[in-house]
Chain A
Amino acid sequence: MSESEEEAAFASADEGEEGKARGKKDLKEEEEPKQREGVGTDGDKKLTIQQDAAKVGGIKGKGKQQPAQKNKKKGSKSSQPLAKETQQPVPKPVSPPKSSPDPQAMSSTSSAKSTSSVEPPETDKGAPLKATSELVSKGGKKVVAQKSKESISQETSTKIKSETLQEDQPTALEAGSRNSLEIEKVLKNETVESLSTAVTNTENNSEKVETKQAADVRKGLQSSIVPSPEKQDIPRGEKDHTAQQEEVLKKLTESVEKTSEGGWGWSSWGSSILTAATQSVQTFSHQVGDGFSTIIDSVESSLSIPDPEELVRAQGVTEPTPITEEPPTAVVSQPNELKMTRQFQEEKRQGEFNYDRDDDDDDEEVKDWKGAEGDQHKEAGGGGCFSSWGVADLAKKVTDKGKSLASKGQTLMAGGFDAVENLASSGIDVLESIGKKTYNTLSEHDPAFRKTREFLSPKGNKPNLSSVLRDARDKAELESEQIKENEEARKAHFGTLFDDYQGIAHLEALEMLSNQSEKKVHSLLNSLSSQDLAAIKPLLISIKATFELKDDEDDSDTTSDQDFNGVVSQCLTELELGTAPDKLNRVHDMVKRWILDFDAHETHDNDSLKEVHQRSIQALAEITAKGVEQLHKAGELVLLDREKEKDFKERAQSLARLTGVLCHEIGNLATQFAACLNKMADKTDTVDEITPLVTNVYLEATNSSTYIQDAFLLLLPVLQHAAIEHSILSRQS
């Protein structure tokens, strides 16, 4: 890097000479604009008064920088379109390194970078001008080289500076504006890319550059007529002026006096100083690029921009006799701040590339400055307050203005470099960490949160887990409750119990048997001769009558308690089917025993009403089932026993009696169960609960009777069938 820089420096030095020479010619014609800058320079001086010598050196160095930049603009204006094309065929050996702006740009500070990176294209076109600008941008080194090689007196150099400023204004307006835009664009791109690397490089380079700058500038200053104006009182500086300088200064002052119009206060003057200071800072910030706009504030604060109040104080120190009109206190400092920013940019552009847009304003301000200076001058002269300053001093200040303005910027830049470096590097670190954190937050926490939200948000539509579980639990509870209820209901449900005791199956089987017998009866009757039919008809009718009679008997039979087992056994014996009512009797005995047990125990606290009710229904169902089964068996046996010599009417009557007994017994049992329930009701005062239970018992008893009677009626075809077959068989035999 150092090599390339040196090469560049040499090249630019050569070119710079030319440029300056040319600039001289042009610029000499216009001196006035320089003057206004001179005023600014005065202010600058005062600003920098308290700064150390090194900075002053920087300022001087910068003084050269400014014209160079302007020259650049000039060159760039003309050469812009070609600039990039010509970049490579650069005649000088310097070009290769230049053409690749990044290495150099990185080596220098961000501001330097911006200029250097933009300018390489321009070099070839406005070669002389460009060289100087490059020098400037690359730091004091080049400045030194420039200085040493150019054996230009300070007068001329100052002139050139001031003149170039003026000269550039008209021409460079357009180009400058364009340039600045382009530059900013390029800067944005390049800075973003190269900044990270540049920043690291900058740390190393900038220090060197600064020290070199300081040293070189100091050298240059010593060699030049103006020694060290910093510590300088103004009178002292006055002495240092050479004859030539004084001439120039006189001219300037004259022109200043001529042009100066209107009264001016210290406030505006002070503001211009501040403006200059802030301007350079802003220039810097602009160069750094938009990306760093956010840290401008911190940059400004960290830069060596003096506080307005400090400035005022400084003024107070240096100028023990302030102007009577306006005290240099808050009045001076406060209005400045607003103006600052505006003038700032104007001046900055001046110093940098642009003059165009703010040209008008600038002119006015320049006028103001002039006026201010004029006033100042007048007052100095008239009031005697400024007698010590003297016209020459003022002139000198004016001449130095360009220099100091530029150098001020450089100083600020140089001073700012460190801060900027730190800020940039630390800022980048911060940005990096912020970015990382943001990314982490987004990639790790946010997505999860999003998922969570996705999971949670449709919750409103979908039931969430807890509600699902709750529903499931409720459902399970409900189901288990239902199962329990069903079990309870089953225990007390006559139909179910009847089925469990196979009552329904027997009834079904009996029905099937009955249907089959009925068919048989019809077919047999059809097959029988009329004689046989007439013979059997009375039997069939009597059998049928027996089945019809049954209902009447039922009513008459519902008397007292009966010997169920005896009657049933008697009935079955009458049937002569060889079947014993074992099951039926067993069940009946069991039920009876239970009822007796219940009656025997006066207290039935252990038994709940439900249990008694269940027991009642269960007993009824079981007896009914057994009764149906008994009838079913009887029917089967009747069919089976057809060969036996037996009166079917008697069988029918026996069956009818059996049915009657069964129904009667069921009624009896129901009454007894009801009595049991009522007995409990008396003791427990639960009449309301018992009434439906008692009703239910009676109801199911009726159902039982219905089942049994149904079964009995189903036997009719069976008996008829048996009777017919028996008659046929008997006849055959």
Chain B
Amino acid sequence: MSYAYLFKYIIIGDTGVGKSCLLLQFTDKRFQPVHDLTIGVEFGARMITIDGKQIKLQIWDTAGQESFRSITRSYYRGAAGALLVYDITRRDTFNHLTTWLEDARQHSNSNMVIMLIGNKSDLEARREVKKEEGEAFAREHGLIFMETSAKTAANVEEAFINTAKEIYQKIQDGVFDINNEANGIKIGPQHSPASQSLNVGGSGGNQGGNCC
């Protein structure tokens, strides 16, 4: 599973807006109605293809609880993209967007691509936040906006992939310095047979140690 680039995403937003469900839908294509409370951060990964290039998305699904805020802030660093999620059925989640956005902007690099996601679009009846509001907020803060449904998988793929496309475009435009891992972008590992066989030889542990 070699890849050209690795993008680090973070998913942020109030607790219970469906961050982990979005990740699960994106990585496993399944929906889990009852989800454990996320402790700290959870991880998901998936390969996508953009412009004929394999890109691995490493997604950090952060805990939305306020108590974890201090911890999750430390994970913002080095993210290339952020999914800022609110629940369209809960106005307060939308109202907290500004705080989250400030947090994200403060603790990550300025070029980070932020996608505003109004989740639970399947629950139209319980909608509290109009789509236009979301659009307006996104426009105001220079975000990409989408309404998704982790349950129905509506726009879930698009949300992740469009973000990746935006990041990729920024790479092409030279906005991102791909050699600086603080930008949340890693160049894919060399996967020549020689190196592979070497790794098979058991140097993986050392490699892993280096990663730390």
Interface residues of A (CB under 8 A from B): 482, 485-486, 489-490, 492-496, 498, 500, 502-509, 511-513, 515-516, 579, 632-633, 636-637, 639-640, 695-696, 699-700, 702-704, 706-707, 710, 714
Contact B199 A702 (CB under 8 A): no
Contact B41 A489 (CB under 8 A): no
Q: Which residues of chain B in 168-212 are interfacial with respect to chain A, using CB atoms and an 8 Å cutoff?
A: 191, 193, 196-197, 199-202, 204-209, 211-212
- Chain B residues with CB under 8 Å of A500's CB are 45
- 17 further A-B contacts with Cβ under 8 Å, apart from A493-B199, A495-B205, are A482-B193, A485-B196, A493-B204, A495-B199, A495-B208, A504-B211, A506-B43, A508-B212, A509-B60, A512-B75, A633-B39, A636-B68, A637-B40, A696-B202, A702-B205, A706-B208, A710-B212
Contact A489 B39 (CB under 8 A): no
Contact B205 A492 (CB under 8 A): no
Query: Which among B40, B41, B204 is the interface contact of A703 at CB below 8 angstroms?
Result: B204
Minimum Cβ distance to chain A for residue B13 (Å): 18
Contact A505 B77 (CB under 8 A): no
Minimum Cβ distance to chain A for residue B44 (Å): 8
Minimum Cβ distance to chain B for residue A563 (Å): 25
Contact B206 A632 (CB under 8 A): no
Query: Which among A504, A505, A703 is the interface contact of B60 at CB below 8 angstroms?
Result: A505
* Cα of A425 to Cα of B201 in the assembled complex, Å: 91
- Chain B residues with CB under 8 Å of A486's CB are 2, 191, 196
- Chain A residues with CB under 8 Å of B209's CB are 703, 706-707, 710
- Chain B residues with CB under 8 Å of A714's CB are 212
**Chain A minimum-CB-distance residue to B68:** A640
- Chain B residues with CB under 8 Å of A579's CB are 39
Would you call B110 an interface residue if the criterion is a C-beta within 8 Å of the partner chain's C-beta atoms? Answer: no
Contact A632 B40 (CB under 8 A): yes
Minimum Cβ distance to chain A for residue B96 (Å): 20
Would you call B99 an interface residue if the criterion is a C-beta within 8 Å of the partner chain's C-beta atoms? Answer: no
Contact A636 B39 (CB under 8 A): yes
Query: Which among A482, A508, A633, A706 is the interface contact of B205 at CB below 8 angstroms?
Result: A706
Do most interface residues of chain A lie in helix, strand or loop, or is the interface mixed?
A: helix
Considering only CB atoms and an 8 Å cut-off, how many residues of chain B contact the other chain? 34
- Chain B residues with CB under 8 Å of A495's CB are 199, 204-205, 207-208
**Chain B minimum-CB-distance residue to A502:** B43
Contact A485 B193 (CB under 8 A): yes
Q: Which residues of chain B in 36-83 are interfacial with respect to chain A, using CB atoms and an 8 Å cutoff?
A: 39-41, 43-45, 58, 60, 67-68, 70-71, 74-75, 77-78
Would you call B34 an interface residue if the criterion is a C-beta within 8 Å of the partner chain's C-beta atoms? Answer: no
Would you call B1 an interface residue if the criterion is a C-beta within 8 Å of the partner chain's C-beta atoms? Answer: yes
Minimum Cβ distance to chain B for residue A631 (Å): 12
Q: Which residues of chain B in 124-164 are interfacial with respect to chain A, using CB atoms and an 8 Å cutoff?
A: none
Minimum Cβ distance to chain A for residue B43 (Å): 4
Q: Could you show 12 A-B contacts with beta carbons less than 8 Å apart?
A: A482-B193, A489-B197, A490-B1, A494-B205, A507-B208, A507-B212, A508-B211, A513-B75, A696-B200, A702-B205, A704-B205, A707-B209
- Chain A residues with CB under 8 Å of B44's CB are 502
Query: Which among A504, A513, A695 is the interface contact of B71 at CB below 8 angstroms?
Result: A513
Contact B193 A492 (CB under 8 A): no
Minimum Cβ distance to chain B for residue A470 (Å): 21
- Chain A residues with CB under 8 Å of B196's CB are 485-486, 489, 493
Minimum Cβ distance to chain B for residue A639 (Å): 6
Contact A505 B58 (CB under 8 A): yes
**Chain A minimum-CB-distance residue to B1:** A490
* Cα of A492 to Cα of B58 in the assembled complex, Å: 22
Minimum Cβ distance to chain A for residue B111 (Å): 19
**Chain B minimum-CB-distance residue to A637:** B39
Minimum Cβ distance to chain B for residue A630 (Å): 11
**Chain B minimum-CB-distance residue to A639:** B71
- Chain B residues with CB under 8 Å of A633's CB are 39-40
**Chain A minimum-CB-distance residue to B196:** A489
- Chain A residues with CB under 8 Å of B200's CB are 489, 492-493, 696
Contact B208 A640 (CB under 8 A): no
* Cα of A509 to Cα of B202 in the assembled complex, Å: 24
Minimum Cβ distance to chain A for residue B183 (Å): 15
* Cα of A513 to Cα of B73 in the assembled complex, Å: 9
Contact A700 B41 (CB under 8 A): no
Which of A515, A695, A699 is most buried by chain B, counting CB atoms within 10 A of its CB? Answer: A699
Known: A637-B39, A639-B71. Is A703-B206 also a contact (CB below 8 A)? yes
Minimum Cβ distance to chain A for residue B174 (Å): 26
Contact B212 A511 (CB under 8 A): yes
* Cα of A633 to Cα of B42 in the assembled complex, Å: 10
**Chain B minimum-CB-distance residue to A701:** B205
- Chain B residues with CB under 8 Å of A494's CB are 202, 204-205, 208
Known: A485-B193, A505-B60. Is A636-B71 also a contact (CB below 8 A)? yes
Which of B45, B67, B207, B212 is most buried by chain A, counting CB atoms within 10 A of its CB? Answer: B212
* Cα of A117 to Cα of B197 in the assembled complex, Å: 96
- Chain A residues with CB under 8 Å of B70's CB are 639
Which of A490, A495, A498, A504 is most buried by chain B, counting CB atoms within 10 A of its CB? Answer: A495
Minimum Cβ distance to chain A for residue B2 (Å): 8
- Chain B residues with CB under 8 Å of A489's CB are 196-197, 199-200
* Cα of A599 to Cα of B191 in the assembled complex, Å: 37
Known: A495-B199, A509-B40, A710-B212. Is A640-B205 also a contact (CB below 8 A)? no
Contact B71 A703 (CB under 8 A): no
**Chain A minimum-CB-distance residue to B76:** A512
- Chain B residues with CB under 8 Å of A699's CB are 202, 205
Minimum Cβ distance to chain A for residue B45 (Å): 7
**Chain B minimum-CB-distance residue to A512:** B74
Known: A493-B199, A509-B60, A512-B75. Is A636-B40 also a contact (CB below 8 A)? yes
* Cα of A503 to Cα of B204 in the assembled complex, Å: 13
Minimum Cβ distance to chain B for residue A498 (Å): 6
Minimum Cβ distance to chain B for residue A251 (Å): 115
- Chain A residues with CB under 8 Å of B193's CB are 482, 485
**Chain B minimum-CB-distance residue to A482:** B193
- Chain B residues with CB under 8 Å of A707's CB are 205, 208-209, 212
Q: Which residues of chain B in 1-33 are interfacial with respect to chain A, using CB atoms and an 8 Å cutoff?
A: 1-2
**Chain B minimum-CB-distance residue to A495:** B204
Which of B39, B78, B197 is most buried by chain A, counting CB atoms within 10 A of its CB? Answer: B39
**Chain A minimum-CB-distance residue to B59:** A505
Contact A703 B74 (CB under 8 A): no
* Cα of A516 to Cα of B209 in the assembled complex, Å: 19
- Chain B residues with CB under 8 Å of A507's CB are 208, 211-212
* Cα of A706 to Cα of B191 in the assembled complex, Å: 24
- Chain A residues with CB under 8 Å of B2's CB are 486
- Chain A residues with CB under 8 Å of B206's CB are 703
* Cα of A699 to Cα of B198 in the assembled complex, Å: 13
* Cα of A72 to Cα of B212 in the assembled complex, Å: 119
- Chain B residues with CB under 8 Å of A492's CB are 200
**Chain A minimum-CB-distance residue to B208:** A495
Contact B205 A700 (CB under 8 A): yes
* Cα of A512 to Cα of B8 in the assembled complex, Å: 14
* Cα of A490 to Cα of B204 in the assembled complex, Å: 11
* Cα of A695 to Cα of B200 in the assembled complex, Å: 12
* Cα of A633 to Cα of B74 in the assembled complex, Å: 14
Minimum Cβ distance to chain B for residue A413 (Å): 87
- Chain A residues with CB under 8 Å of B204's CB are 493-496, 498, 700, 703
Contact A516 B74 (CB under 8 A): yes
- Chain B residues with CB under 8 Å of A695's CB are 202
Minimum Cβ distance to chain A for residue B89 (Å): 28
- Chain B residues with CB under 8 Å of A509's CB are 40-41, 43, 60, 75
- Chain B residues with CB under 8 Å of A704's CB are 205
**Chain B minimum-CB-distance residue to A478:** B193
Which of B74, B193, B206 is most buried by chain A, counting CB atoms within 10 A of its CB? Answer: B74
Contact A513 B199 (CB under 8 A): no
* Cα of A707 to Cα of B204 in the assembled complex, Å: 11
